[in-house]
Structure 1
Amino acid sequence: MNKQELIRQLAGETGFHERQVRMTLDCLIRKTMEALANDQSLVLQTLGTFRSVWQTERPGRNPKTGEPKTVPSRFTVKFRPGNAFLKALNDNK
């Protein structure tokens, strides 16, 4: 599912216009990025927790050429799913 498909489904379920759903989703994404950039975590009950993590510099390889390269240090995002999310995911199997 891509963003536009999600917007259509949410608009269909909520009765809001697609434009309103898009603005809300864009705001959620923007606020999530702002929180993580400010070293805050975002906890969405039942879904899970997003948090920023600092990765140190490490050795790596160019997958095409096999040439050794150094992967620079950077921030990345980790997601830990909530219990309800994991339960819903595994109940369908």
Structure 2
Amino acid sequence: MSKTRRQIAERVSIECSIDMRDSKAILDAIFQQMSDALARGEEVKLSGFGSFRTHVSPERMGRNPKTGKPALISERQRITFKPSKALVGRLAQGDK
């Protein structure tokens, strides 16, 4: 099951005893700061969680899945995530 932004905001609201509107605003500000940093090419490190960074995938040849004809796939920027050792350990233990 996936978590939505609203579900996360509700949980933050409950655990921090703050208004839902404030929780949403805080969550939006965090995501905006992360997005802005990644757009500038900066790495975003969240201690105990992991790191987000941008990576440039070089131009390459691929295939059109409908026709099977070769097609050039242009260079593009991607976001990668590397989990922290703490997160990997927690997932290995089966904590939910």
TM bucket (normalised to shorter chain) is 0.7 to 0.9
- The secondary structure found in structure 1 opposite 2:18 is coil
Aligned 1:1-20 pairs, distance under 5 A: 1-20=3-22
Q: Which residue of 1 aligns with 2:46?
A: 44
Q: Which residue of 1 aligns with 2:72?
A: 70
TM-score normalized by structure 1?
0.87
TM-score normalized by structure 2?
0.85
Q: Unmatched 5+ residue regions in structure 1?
A: none
Q: Which residue of 1 aligns with 2:85?
A: 83
Name the CA distance, whole Å, in 2 between partners of 1:53 and 1:86.
22
- The secondary structure found in structure 2 opposite 1:39 is coil
- The secondary structure found in structure 2 opposite 1:79 is strand
Aligned 1:15-30 pairs, distance under 5 A: 15-30=17-32
CA offsets, 1:2-49, max 9 Å, x none? 111111111111111111111111111111111111111011110011
Q: Unmatched 5+ residue regions in structure 2?
A: none
Q: 57-66 or 76-85, which moves further after superposition?
A: 57-66
CA RMSD of aligned residues (A): 1.6
Identity %: 28
Name the CA distance, whole Å, in 1 between partners of 2:23 and 2:64.
40
